Amino acid sequence: MAYLSRDALNLSVVAAVMTASTAGFFASTVSCARTRPRAETMVVGPRNPNLAGRLDVEDLLEIRVYGEPELSGNYRVGTGGTIDFPLAGSVVAEGLTIAQFQAELVKRLGGAYLKDPQITIMYKERNNAKVSVLGQVQKPGPVPYFANMTIVDAIAAAGGFTGIAAKNSVTLRREANGHVELKTYPVADISEGRSTNVSLFPGDVVVVDERLF
């Protein structure tokens, strides 16, 4: 049996330790790289179930008909609960889901006017979906909610801050699953990119505190 000298044995041990340390370093580096969070809009709490509701009077829809730019555009549900759509005439929208209204448009436009029309519909504004902005803003009160609305958007929709607003002390009140959540956000820092923006949902209440002098 061949025996290693003491010097050779020591070198082998050092090499093994260095190999293990190096492997651990790279494993740690890869793990950190994979878990590093991205800078993006933060969604707080569950989605409001009202987003899955039905069309209402004064809702504004963005309707796109593939290959037909003259038909595509924004359409509002009128006071009679209908939308006047080119070629389709007056189409009942109130009380329908977007999918049901889309199916009705496809039915009316197909055949006589278009062959297999491809239609996409999304909300631009919801009459029954509001966010309340209170406290030190120019126009406190409810503002219309729109898809992907953020806390910065809501304050802008309320006319912006007053001169005595505590811009980095803005409270978001949200009711979810029977519980009320209160969180404070630095909106001035968010506006300047120093903090993460926050998504809002219908029914949220944003309160801007008064600055302490």
- From 125, 143, 174, the end of a domain falls on 125
Q: Which residues pair with 176 in a beta bridge?
A: 179
Looking at the domain assignment, is residue 85 inside a domain? yes
Looking at the domain assignment, is residue 145 inside a domain? yes
Alpha helices per DSSP H over 36-139: 98-109
The yes-or-no verdict on residue 71 having pLDDT over 90 is: yes
Give per-residue pLDDT as tens, 7-27.
443 444 444 444 444 444 333
∠ CA 184-40-141, nearest 5°, is 45
CA dihedral 41, 43, 48, 54 (to 10 degrees): 30
- From 93, 125, 157, the end of a domain falls on 125
CATH number at residue 105: 3.30.1950.10
**Overall number of domains in the chain:** 2
Higher pLDDT, 176 or 97: 97
pTM for this one? 0.50
Give Cα separations from 125 to 128, 136, 159, 160, 194 (angstroms): 9, 25, 18, 20, 29
Domain region containing 204: 129-210
Looking at the domain assignment, is residue 31 inside a domain? no
Using pLDDT thresholds of 50, 70 and 90, give the confidence band for residue 34.
very low
Looking at the domain assignment, is residue 11 inside a domain? no
- From 94, 125, 156, the end of a domain falls on 125
**Residue 65: what pLDDT?**
95
CA distance linking residue 28 with residue 49, whole number of Å: 41
Can you tell me the mean pLDDT for 96-117? 90
User: Is 200 found in the same domain as 140?
Assistant: yes
